[in-house]
Chains A and B, each alone.
Chain A
Amino acid sequence: MNAPPGVYQGAANVIAALMLLLEFGMLRQALVRDQVRLYAAQSALISVLAVVIAADRNLPELYALAALSAALKVGAVPYVLRRLLGPPAVEEARGVAGSHTLNPASAVLACIVMAAFGFFSFGSLHIQSAEAPAFALSVAGAMVFVAFVLMIIRRDVASQAIGFFSLENAISLASLVLAAELPLLLETAFLFDLLLAVVVFAMLIRAHHARAESLSTADLSRLRG
């Protein structure tokens, strides 16, 4: 009989499951500002997980990382995105609200399939140790696939950016599970890099809005790849 999970493993598994649920929530939201709220909540859970790991494994530098991550992903990124979106009425006018290419039921079904694929794919790898709960890692795999669906099925630049940021959250989850003891310098560099990416995404969203007077990607069809 398997031993029951310890506090750390249990917390990691619960937080991972909540993060996946929030990602499904993002999928369902018509308004991008609601997606931003869910993204902020998902990011807060990452910081909580970092604190749990820091306490469980006596890694004080992870407290600093949790604080940095919260400041950036719970504070700065949602703030920048909300500024870009404007109030709900403006969001409607900018061609963002309800920009799904699939109806919500189909989108959720597609995501369930992708999430199951990611979950079982990562699970079948049997990458597991006392520090790396297999369930949380599998959920991170599921989140990666759902994040890709999130980027694909919305036709507005803000939602696509949120899809990318939630992909980054999925990778952060995998990173905390597999590589919590990665030197702080490198972890901080990863976060700084995310900050750069956010700035660039914001600048490109502004540039797109300035040209198209909309955040919709419907007009981005001239180039065929």
Chain B
Amino acid sequence: MLGVILAVLIVPLATGIACFLVPFRVAAPLTVASGVACFGLVLALAPGAARGGTPTYLSYLRADALSCVFLLATGFLYAAVSVYAAGYLRGRTDRYARRFYLGFNVFAWAMLAAPLMSSLALLWIAIEVTTVVSALLVAIETELPGKEGDGAAEASWKYVLIASAGLGLGLLATIFAYYAGAQVLGAHSNLAIAPLIAAGSRLPKTPVELAFLLAVLGYGTKVGLAPVHTWLPDAHSEAPTPVSALLSGALLATSFYAILRFYQVAAAALGSGFPRDTLLAFGVVSLLLASLYVFGQRDVKRLLAYSSIEHMGILAIGVSFGAPAALGGVLLHVMAHAAAKGNAFMGAGVFTVKYRTKRMPAMRDGLRLLPWSGPLFLLSVLALSAFPPFGIFRSEFEIVAGGLGSGSYAAAAVLVILVTVAFFGLVTTVTGVLLRPAPARSVAAETPPAESVPARSEAVARQTARADRTEAAGGTGVERVAGGDGGALATAAPALASQAPAGRALEPGEPSAWMVIPVLAGLAVLVLLGVHPPGELTNLITQAAAQLRGAP
């Protein structure tokens, strides 16, 4: 077990460093190999963790069932997105690709390291490392000219400032947890999670209450719980798409894992009433806000970002139910959401490459123009919206069943209503992109292979949008859209056509096969999780849910 844990901690970090030193054509397969190897390694950890027991290695490492659930989600997404990135980055400069792969692998390393830490202090450090690395990954787009570079600069600054301030509160929570533990375990306690839980009701109540509240507020900033979510839609929409997928599918869950660890300590010390009520309040507010905001979005990545806030709200509400079925549903939801949200972002990334814009009013006829990615994106969004037979349907069903079973009728009803509202918002918006027929004139020219990369494509679209503003003064060529980010001008068909070689229309076809394969894999996983989760996985989830209910 120790060897596997050490390998998980070494492989992505070593790969990141190696990628910075080798050319892009080597870095891409190296990262894919690292992603697949890490997923294999975390799969190898799962059976041992499912049997229970929480041995600690080298004083600071452990992989119990709860850790393994989050490791599986991150490991799968790391592998899938590393394949996707190989297609997404085609045509980027070598300098950009080296920096990207360095950051990408180190980001994955930090997210894999966090659940393996046996101490709340090291957990905080790992999550802080995820912040600094991912902020640089969002900022990597500042190299690009024009508005998208400006957007990346703004988003990365807001992200690092808000998330760091939130994690400051998380650190304060950690210090209060230490103070509480020191009263029982002695001053040289190293904030290890297991002894804190074992100390249970002997821990002083006030510091534990304060620690939990600060942890929810602090780590909740990273999770994207309302009202401290404001960095999330900006960072997710401005980051390179592979980073958006990891941010949404893995980073939010990893931060939620930190809250769950504080939840375990608080539930052991205070009983589950206070922590459950706190999570319920944050969960309902997040779900309410997100389910309403998905309706106003015009940027496809912002739409998915708000969907992430919705799903984090569902997780918080699920934990607040406290019933075994609901907790099992929450843990299944972590994995299913990782696969579904990763898929949705990867699909959206294909659309932004194809249409050279993130704005949905300029995207039409997606099912015809993207014969693979169009249907796959639709299926991914349906999976994300809890359609059967996908995993999120099963997980949300279990959460609601657990809520009803535990007598939380009102909260379960609110959950069902708001999830349904969000479902309509997501599906109606996305089907418009996929099914609305293209206008008679072309929306954009097909990019030559060497230029079919997001940087160039989106830059062209943004330049077009600027040109549109000028034209708008004369009232021609543009369509004003009341967008979610302040009613910016969206590029419309005739305006974009002005940038295209005359008479050339978008032709059906995929930008890259590498951007399709991981989405297929993600859908297969979602069907597996929804129809018949493997026995070992069910055991793992049952064991992890038992841990959340107070089992050692």
Contacts and interface: CB of A to CB of B under 8 A. Distances in A.
Decide whether A and B assemble into one complex.
Answer: yes
Contacts of B486: 222, 224
Contacts of A174: 172, 175
Contact of B168 (A161, A167, A220): A167
A224 to B, nearest CB: 5
A157 B191 contact: no
Interface string A122-145: 000111010010000000000010
B165 A204 contact: no
Given A193-B129, A197-B132, A200-B132, A220 B158 contact: yes
Contacts of B237: 223
B157 A157 contact: yes
B161 interface: yes
B153 interface: yes
B135 A200 contact: yes
B210 A125 contact: yes
B158 A171 contact: no
B128 interface: yes
A164 B132 contact: no
Interface stretch (A46-54, A98-106, A182-190): A182-190
Interface string B371-414: 00000000000000000000000000000000000000000000
Contacts of A207: 139, 142, 153, 156
B364 to A, nearest CB: 25
Contacts of B210: 125, 127
Nearest to A175: B175
A160 interface: yes
Interface in A168-186: 168, 171, 174-175, 178-179, 181-183, 186
Given A179-B179, A181-B188, A186-B121, A208 B485 contact: no
A220 B157 contact: yes
A203 interface: yes
B93 to A, nearest CB: 17
A181 to B, nearest CB: 4
B423 interface: no
A189 B122 CA distance: 8
A178 B176 contact: yes
A175 B486 CA distance: 42
B485 A222 contact: yes
Contact of A204 (B160, B176, B233): B160
In the complex, which of the residues B119, B175, B191, B206 has the most CB atoms of chain A within 10 Å of its own CB atom? B175
B69 interface: no
Contacts of A199: 132
B230 interface: yes
Interface string B471-498: 0000000000000111000000000000
Instruction: Provide the main secondary structure of the chain A interface.
Output: helix
B238 interface: yes
B168 A171 contact: yes
Contacts of A225: 158, 229-231, 233-234
Contact of A222 (B129, B150, B164, B165): B150
Interface residues of B, number: 51
B156 A204 contact: yes
A46 B155 CA distance: 32
Interface string B140-178: 001000010111011111101100110010011001101
Interface bracket on A: 35 or more
B125 A164 contact: no
A223 B165 contact: no
Given A171-B171, A174-B172, A196 B191 contact: no
A224 B305 CA distance: 13
Contacts of A144: 168, 172
Contacts of B183: 129
Nearest to A196: B132
Given A125-B206, A125-B210, A126-B206, A183 B172 contact: no
Contacts of A161: 161
Given A183-B188, A190-B171, A203 B136 contact: yes
B450 interface: no
Contacts of A222: 147, 150-151, 154, 485-486
Contacts of A171: 168, 171-172, 175
A171 B218 CA distance: 13
B7 interface: no
B233 A182 contact: no
B136 A127 contact: no
Contact of B125 (A125, A193, A208, A211): A193
Contacts of B142: 207, 210-211
Interface string B177-205: 01100110001101100000000000000
A70 interface: no
Given A178-B179, A179-B178, A189-B122, A197 B154 contact: no
A189 B125 contact: yes
A63 interface: no
Nearest to A157: B157
7 contacts: A171-B168, A197-B128, A199-B132, A200-B132, A211-B149, A211-B150, A222-B486
Given A178-B175, A201-B160, 20 more contacts: A144-B168, A144-B172, A171-B172, A174-B175, A175-B171, A175-B175, A182-B121, A186-B191, A193-B129, A196-B129, A200-B135, A200-B136, A203-B136, A204-B135, A204-B136, A212-B150, A219-B150, A220-B154, A222-B154, A222-B486
Interface of A: 125-127, 129, 132, 144, 148, 151, 157, 160-161, 164, 167-168, 171, 174-175, 178-179, 181-183, 186, 189-190, 193, 196-197, 199-201, 203-204, 207-208, 210-212, 217, 219-220, 222-225
In the A-B complex, list the 4 residue pairs whose CB atoms are closest, starting with the nearest: A225-B230, A181-B187, A223-B234, A178-B179
